[in-house]
Amino acid sequence: DADMPAPKGNAYWKLCPRPGRRPSYGTAEELWAAAQQYFEWAEANPLYAHETVKFQGEASIVKVPKMRAMTIAGLCLHIGVTHETWCQYRKRDEAFSEVTAMIDSIIRTQKFEGAAADIFNANIISRDLGLVDRRARDLDIGTRDSLATFINALATQPFSLK
């Protein structure tokens, strides 16, 4: 939910290594190494949810680790660059373009697979990845339409098993 506040006790500000001039990665290999450090950090620092566990009639609250979704914004904070700088790296040259494309793919795949395994909220991840259900968007059914109108509109949509 967009109106949901950051979790209490979050330390997102600690991800930014330092204020001031941002680091410049002179080679694609340096950028790749920095990204790998982010991937390792994200894996080693899960988020925690508090869940109630009942055992033999006793209930207790335990902290359960949850996989942290990697994001380009999180990567940028971790490696100390702005999103604009990240976009410039994407266009810099062939080597940077290849590395940034690989990093984008890794982050996209981690989020997609996390949502598919029900680790992440599938609705949030599908919006983030631009995976909108085209059929729902194209039907444009209003709340006053009848079920018959809805079924007729659905029947006119192309069907594919792809």
* Residues 64-73 pLDDT 10s: 999 999 999 9
Mean pLDDT of 17-34: 79
pLDDT of residue 19: 55
The residue written with tokens 């209003």 in the block is 142
* 65 DSSP β-pair partners: 48
CB atoms within 10 A of CB 64: 12
Minimum mean pLDDT range among 23-37, 85-99, 102-116, 127-141: 127-141
Cα separation, 158 vs 162, in Å, equals 12
Q: Model pTM?
A: 0.66
Going by the DSSP 8-state scheme, the letter that residue 14 receives in this structure is: G
The residue written with tokens 């997609």 in the block is 112
Report in angstroms the alpha-carbon separations of 59 from 33, 52, 66, 155: 45, 7, 21, 50
Element containing residue 75 per DSSP (H, E): helix 72-79
